Amino acid sequence: MAKDAVKKIKLQIPAGKATPAPPVGTVLGPAGINLQDFCTKYNDATRDKMGDILPVEISIYEDRSFDFVIKTPPTSFLLKKYAKINKGATKGSNETVATLTSAQIREIAEIKLPDLNAYDVDAAMKIVAGTAKNMGIAVEGMEEAAKEEATEVAE
């Protein structure tokens, strides 16, 4: 019989840098799992992605055992990393703080595809481009294609 998860916890932790200190300890401590064991396993699993912030979904079982699934980095994190900026625009899409090429958007979409609600890279690119626009990051080549599509539909 498969074990039933008593609790599911979602965290965003820097890859390879989990420690029993807050925020990991304050969230997982009350769940009753061995913090040092979790940190060791997480750090070993994410050592190759050092520097990235990775969402992790932790399933905790009745016997205080656990397992976790590591997701892809948040889209906003990847966009900031590729654009080499610290934060997005304060006024959202009304302000442009950086520009990315459609090739860079494709790379991000390929990384994010397993976690996005999209069947192909083109659909994933539209999702990533929408996030970029809301962060004030312009995408070269994508706006022109969107405008051409809009005029074709209107005709």
Give yes or no: residues 86 and 66 share one domain.
Answer: no
Element (H, E) at 67: strand 66-70
**pLDDT tens sequence for the chain (155 residues):** 457 777 888 888 888 777 777 777 788 778 778 788 888 888 888 888 777 788 888 888 888 788 888 888 888 888 888 888 887 777 776 777 778 888 888 888 888 888 778 888 888 888 888 888 888 888 887 655 554 554 454 55
For residue 74, count other CB atoms closer than 10 A to its CB: 17
The CA distance from 107 to 96, in Å, is 21
Average pLDDT, the chain: 78
Give yes or no: residues 63 and 83 share one domain.
Answer: no
CATH number for the domain that contains residue 132 = 1.10.10.250
Contacts for 39 with CB less than 8 Å, ≥ 6 apart: 18, 19, 20, 24
Say how many domains are in the chain. 2
Give yes or no: residues 87 and 136 share one domain.
Answer: yes
Residue 50 burial class via C-beta count within 10 angstroms: exposed 0-12, middle 13-18, buried 19 and up: exposed
SS3 84: coil
Q: Which domain holds residue 41?
A: 5-70
Q: Would you say the pTM of this structure is higher than 0.85?
A: no
Give yes or no: residues 79 and 25 share one domain.
Answer: no
Give yes or no: residues 108 and 141 share one domain.
Answer: yes
pLDDT tens string 9-44 = 888 888 877 777 777 778 877 877 878 888 888 888
Give yes or no: residues 62 and 85 share one domain.
Answer: no
CATH number for the domain that contains residue 60 = 3.30.1550.10
